[in-house]
């Protein structure tokens, strides 16, 4: 009788498993999100994002030092403004919180890649990602402000801008503004496929950006849609996006794979706040092993086709990789 297929031969020891392992997350795949606030002497854990901090500018250097020491190559900055207004004016203020943070980080760590989230929602009194006219989030009128925001980040020294607002045409407008102002070399990582997701909850309380009326469904994508994601990516590539992002990540592994297979582009995936918090809280309750759950999750995102992962676990994952390689 012919023997059956003995798959277990290649699973019999850690050594042999590592030999046939198909997917490894590298430290260079990780992008760490950081939150900056006005004020002094602030390094405060964010209640709804355990293990993550609000940093004032004077504390940022130490926070970033940790990241650099672990070998992480890139951070993405989010800011909480002093004041919000209808037009989100601190978003594009050359002395706004993110612009200050960029200058501070680049001064001390010129080689660390500083990526910035380009959006208005933290900065607008209504909490929407674009301008609001008569109760509607208006598209074309918002583009100028978004382009101004991206430009102000580049002027402050950002290495890459990442528009997350989901207005139509923003990638093209940002590209144009950067090109006109001697920033042809600055890449755009577009949040191309960004779903209207419940998993952004903890982030919105961390940056106080929940919409004050309505929701984001008129500009972010319907979680039910797959083909639409491809149209969205196509449009962003045409407008000049250099890196395509899919967000969230863990609930959208199929989309990551589809985008990766369909376009010859680098793909980023954002393992978002709610996806992170689920593991943290379940682990705190003793229901999951935190580290194993983290490694499995991030490996799955990489296996799905992500070339890079934005994750609140970046530091923990880097520590794990260092211990296990
Ligand atoms: C800003 C923005 C959001 C996130 C990143 N940029 C929130 C939103 O669209 O409401 C979410 C990140 C996370 O949940 O970790 N538009």
Task: Give the distance, in angstroms, between the CA of residue 4 and the centroid of all CA atoms in the same chain.
Answer: 46
Please give the structure tokens belonging to residue 95.
Answer: 């002395």
Calculate how far, in angstroms, residue 319's C-alpha sits from the geometric centre of ligand 1.
25
pLDDT tens profile 262-313: 999 999 999 999 999 999 999 999 999 999 999 999 999 999 999 999 999 9
Shortest-distance atom of ligand 1 to CA 78: 6
| Structural domain contains residue 3 | no
What pLDDT is recorded for position 46? Answer: 97
Distance CA 312, CA 81 (A): 21
Residues lower than pLDDT 50 in the chain: none
**Domain assignment present for 7:** no
Domain that holds residue 121: 24-323
Flag whether 17 is in a domain.
no
Nearest alpha carbon, ligand 1 atom 5: 164
Number of folded domains that form the chain: 1
- Could you list the residues known to form a binding site for 5-aminolevulinate, using ranges: 204, 216, 273, 312
If you measure from the C-alpha of residue 155 to the centroid of ligand 1, how many angstroms do you get, rounded to a whole number? Answer: 23
**Whole-number pLDDT of residue 267:** 98
Residue with the smallest CA separation from ligand 1 atom 11 is 200
121 lines ligand 1 (CB under 6 A): yes
What's residue 116's pLDDT?
98
Task: Determine the number of helices (DSSP H) and then strands (DSSP E) in the chain.
Answer: 11, 12
| pTM of the predicted structure, to 2 decimals | 0.97
Distance of alpha carbon 51 from alpha carbon 283, whole angstroms: 13
Give yes or no for residue 203 CB within 6 A of ligand 1.
yes
| ipTM of model | 0.97
Q: What is the pLDDT of residue 2?
A: 85
pLDDT digits (tens, 9 = 90+) for 143-172: 999 999 999 999 999 999 999 999 999 999
At 159, which CATH number? 3.20.20.70
Q: What is the rounded CA–CA span in Å between residue 173 and residue 163?
A: 11
């Amino acid at each position: 009788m012919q023997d059956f297929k003995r798959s277990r031969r290649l699973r019999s020891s850690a050594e042999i498993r590592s030999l046939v392992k198909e997917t490894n997350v590298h430290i260079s795949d990780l992008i760490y999100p950081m939150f900056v606030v006005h004020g002094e002497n602030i390094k405060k854990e964010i209640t709804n994002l355990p293990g993550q901090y609000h940093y004032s500018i004077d504390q940022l250097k130490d926070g970033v030092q940790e990241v650099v020491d672990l070998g992480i190559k890139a951070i993405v900055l989010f800011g909480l403004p002093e004041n919000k207004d209808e037009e989100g004016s601190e978003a594009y203020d050359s002395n706004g919180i993110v612009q200050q943070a960029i200058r501070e980080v680049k001064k001390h760590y010129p080689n660390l890649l500083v990526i910035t989230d380009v959006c208005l929602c933290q900065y607008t009194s209504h909490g929407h990602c674009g301008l609001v006219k008569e109760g509607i989030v208006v598209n074309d009128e918002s583009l100028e402000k978004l382009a101004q925001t991206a430009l102000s980040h580049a002027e402050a020294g950002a290495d890459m801008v990442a528009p997350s607002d989901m207005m139509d045409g923003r990638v093209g407008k940002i590209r144009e503004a950067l090109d006109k102002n001697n920033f042809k070399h600055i890449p755009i990582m577009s949040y191309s496929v960004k779903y209207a997701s419940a998993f952004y909850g903890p982030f919105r309380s961390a940056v106080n950006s929940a919409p004050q009326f309505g929701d984001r469904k008129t500009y972010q994508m319907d979680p039910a849609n797959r083909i639409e994601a491809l149209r969205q990516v196509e449009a962003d590539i045409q407008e000049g996006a250099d890196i395509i992002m899919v967000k969230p990540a863990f609930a959208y592994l199929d989309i990551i794979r589809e985008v990766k297979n369909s376009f010859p582009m680098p793909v980023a995936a954002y393992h978002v706040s709610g996806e992170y918090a689920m593991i943290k809280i379940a682990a705190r309750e003793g229901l999951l092993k935190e580290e194993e759950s983290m490694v499995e999750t991030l490996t799955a995102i990489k296996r799905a086709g992500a070339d890079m992962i934005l994750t609140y676990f970046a530091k923990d994952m880097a520590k794990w990789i260092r211990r296990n390689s």
